[in-house]
Structure 1
Amino acid sequence: MSSQYVLPNSSPVVNLDCLVAFNCLSAKEKLYTHYLSKAAWHGGLVVLFQTSPESPIIFVLLQKLFRAQPLDELKKLALGPACGFNQDEWQALLVYTSGLYANMGNYKGFGDTKFVPGTPQDKLKTLIWKSAAYISCPEMIENLWSWCGKRMYSLAEKELQLGLGDEGTTTYFSANCTMEDAKLVQKFLDAKAISPYNSRVFKTINDGKPHYDVRLASVNTPDLVEQSETADRVNHLGASEFEGTSFSVSCGDYSALMAYVATNLKKAKDHAANETEEAMLQSYIDSFTTSSLQAHKDGSRLWIKDKGPIVETYIGFIETYRDPIGVRGEFEGFVAIVNKEMSQKFASLVENAETFLPMLPWGNDYEKDRFLRPDFTSLDVVTFSGSGIPAGINIPNYDEIRQNEGFKNVSLGNVLSAGYKEEKVTFLSAGDVELYKLLKAPSFEVQVGLHELLGHGSGKLFSEKTDGIRNFDSEKIKDLETGEKISSWYAPGETYDSKFQVISSTYEECRAECVGLYLCLEPCILKIFAHEGDKAQDIIYVNWLNMVRAGVLGLEFYTPKTKKWRQAHMQARYVILRVLLEAGEGLVSVTKTNGEDGQPDLLVSLDRSKINSVGKAAIAKFLQRLQTYKSTGDLVRAEAMYVAYATVSDEGDTPFLCYRSIVMNRKQPRKLFVQHNTSVTSDESSVNISTYESSPEGLIQSFIERFTSTDVDDAIIDLWKKDQPNFPTE
Structure 2
Amino acid sequence: MESSVNLSPTPVATYQLSIKDVFERLSDREQLYAHHLSRAAWHGARIILRQTSPEGTGIFDFILELHKACDGQWGVFTDHYGLTIEELHSFLDYAGMFMSKMNNFCGEGDRKIVPAVSADSLRKMAGISQAATTALEAVVEPMLSLTPSALTLSESTYYLGNAGVTFDEIAGIARAMQLNDLEPENTRVHKSIEKDKTVYQVLQASAQSNDELQDYIKGSAIPIDVLQQDSELNGTVRLVRGDHSTEMTKICGHLLQAVRFAANDTQARFILDYLESFTSGSLEAYRRSMKNWVQDLYPRVESILGFIEPYRDPYGVRCEWRGVISIADPQETAKLTTLVKDSTKFIRTLPWAVPGDNDGKGPFEKDEFRAPGFSVVHALAFVCSNIWEASNVPNYNDIRETYGFKNIVYANRMSANADPNRPLYWIAPSESKSFRKVYHVLRFITTSIHELLGHGTGKLLAETSRGVFNFDSDKIPINTLTGKPVQSWYKPGQTWTSVFEKLAGTVEECRAMLISYYLAESKDMLRMYGYDDDTDISADELLFNMYTYIGFLGIRALQAFNEENQSWGSPHSNADFAILRHLLSDANGLLSIQCDVDSATLQIQVDRPKIAKEGKASLGRMLHRIHVWRCTADVEACKQFYEPLSTVQGEHEAWRRIVASKPEPAWKFVQANTILTDDGKVQLKVYEESDAGIIQSFADRGL
Q: How far apart in 1 are the matches of 2:365 and 2:102?
A: 38
- Offset, 1:250: 2.1
1:299 aligns with 2:289: yes
- Offset, 1:498: 2.4
Bigger drift between 172-181 and 308-317 goes to 172-181
Q: Equivalent residues in 2 for 1:23-62 (5 A)?
A: 23-62=24-63
1:22 aligns with 2:11: no
Q: Equivalent residues in 2 for 1:458-469 (5 A)?
A: 458-469=457-468
Q: How far apart in 1 are the matches of 2:350 and 2:658?
A: 37
Give 1:286's aligned residue. 276
Whether the 8 Å CA contact 2:445–2:529 is kept in 1: the answer is yes
Q: Deviations over 1:540-560 (max 9, x none)?
A: 222332121110111111122
- Offset, 1:210: 2.5
- Choose from 359, 364, 367 the match for 2:365: 367
Q: Deviations over 1:389-425 (max 9, x none)?
A: 1111100001111122210001111101024535232
Q: Which amino acid aligns with 2:138?
A: W
Identity %: 31
Bigger drift between 530-539 and 456-465 goes to 530-539
1:315 aligns with 2:316: no
Whether the 8 Å CA contact 1:54–1:148 is kept in 2: the answer is yes
- Choose from 676, 690, 698 the match for 1:695: 690
Give 1:270's aligned residue. 260
Q: Deviations over 1:460-515 (max 9, x none)?
A: 11122234311123442233333333232222222212222212211111110000
Q: How far apart in 2 are the matches of 1:112 and 1:486?
A: 39
Q: Which amino acid aligns with 1:310?
A: R
Q: How far apart in 1 are the matches of 2:385 and 2:418?
A: 17
Q: How far apart in 2 are the matches of 1:125 and 1:490?
A: 58
Task: Assess, with a 3 A threshold, how the Cα gap between structure 1 residues 162 and 381 changes in structure 2: closer, same or farther.
Answer: same
1:669 aligns with 2:686: no
Give 1:579's aligned residue. 582
Task: Assess, with a 3 A threshold, how the Cα gap between structure 1 residues 43 and 294 changes in structure 2: closer, same or farther.
Answer: same
- Offset, 1:440: 1.1
Bigger drift between 527-536 and 368-377 goes to 527-536
- Choose from 532, 537, 542 the match for 1:539: 542
Task: Assess, with a 3 A threshold, how the Cα gap between structure 1 residues 341 and 162 changes in structure 2: closer, same or farther.
Answer: same
SS in 2 for 1:317: strand
Q: How far apart in 2 are the matches of 1:146 and 1:86?
A: 22
1:611 aligns with 2:588: no
TM-score by length of 2: 0.94
Whether the 8 Å CA contact 1:461–1:490 is kept in 2: the answer is yes
Whether the 8 Å CA contact 1:419–1:671 is kept in 2: the answer is no
Whether the 8 Å CA contact 1:550–1:574 is kept in 2: the answer is yes
Give 1:235's aligned residue. 222
Q: Equivalent residues in 2 for 1:346-357 (5 A)?
A: 346-357=336-347
Whether the 8 Å CA contact 2:417–2:440 is kept in 1: the answer is no
Show structure 2 runs of 5+ residues with no match: 354-361
Whether the 8 Å CA contact 1:48–1:105 is kept in 2: the answer is yes
Q: Which amino acid aligns with 1:402?
A: R
1:153 aligns with 2:144: yes
Q: Which amino acid aligns with 1:66?
A: H
Q: Which amino acid aligns with 2:582?
A: V
Give 2:199's aligned residue. 211
Q: How far apart in 2 are the matches of 1:97 and 1:462?
A: 48
Bigger drift between 337-346 and 30-39 goes to 337-346
SS in 2 for 1:349: helix
- Offset, 1:611: 2.4
Whether the 8 Å CA contact 1:234–1:292 is kept in 2: the answer is no
- Offset, 1:662: 1.7
Give 2:356's aligned residue. none
Q: Equivalent residues in 2 for 1:191-590 (5 A)?
A: 191-228=179-216, 232=219, 235-239=222-226, 240-241=228-229, 242-243=231-232, 244-363=234-353, 364-419=362-417, 421-423=419-421, 424-474=423-473, 475-533=475-533, 535-590=538-593
Show structure 1 runs of 5+ residues with no match: 713-730
SS in 2 for 1:333: strand
Q: Deviations over 1:133-184 (max 9, x none)?
A: x2xxx3x55543343222222233xx2211113xx54434545112222222
TM-score by length of 1: 0.90
Q: Deviations over 1:166-209 (max 9, x none)?
A: xx544345451122222222232333332111111111223444
Task: Assess, with a 3 A threshold, how the Cα gap between structure 1 residues 254 and 233 changes in structure 2: closer, same or farther.
Answer: farther
Q: How far apart in 2 are the matches of 1:420 and 1:459?
A: 33
Give 1:181's aligned residue. 169
- Offset, 1:227: 4.0
Whether the 8 Å CA contact 1:558–1:565 is kept in 2: the answer is yes
SS in 2 for 1:99: helix
Q: How far apart in 2 are the matches of 1:507 and 1:7?
A: 32
Task: Assess, with a 3 A threshold, how the Cα gap between structure 1 residues 236 and 490 changes in structure 2: closer, same or farther.
Answer: farther
Q: How far apart in 1 are the matches of 2:171 and 2:160?
A: 12
Q: How far apart in 2 are the matches of 1:641 and 1:544?
A: 22
Q: Work out the number of aligned pairs and report it.
A: 685
Q: Deviations over 1:532-584 (max 9, x none)?
A: 12611222222332121110111111122211111111111100001100114
Give 2:69's aligned residue. 68
Task: Assess, with a 3 A threshold, how the Cα gap between structure 1 residues 581 and 226 changes in structure 2: closer, same or farther.
Answer: same
SS in 2 for 1:201: strand
Task: Assess, with a 3 A threshold, how the Cα gap between structure 1 residues 148 and 358 changes in structure 2: closer, same or farther.
Answer: same
Task: Assess, with a 3 A threshold, how the Cα gap between structure 1 residues 487 and 212 changes in structure 2: closer, same or farther.
Answer: farther
Whether the 8 Å CA contact 2:180–2:222 is kept in 1: the answer is no
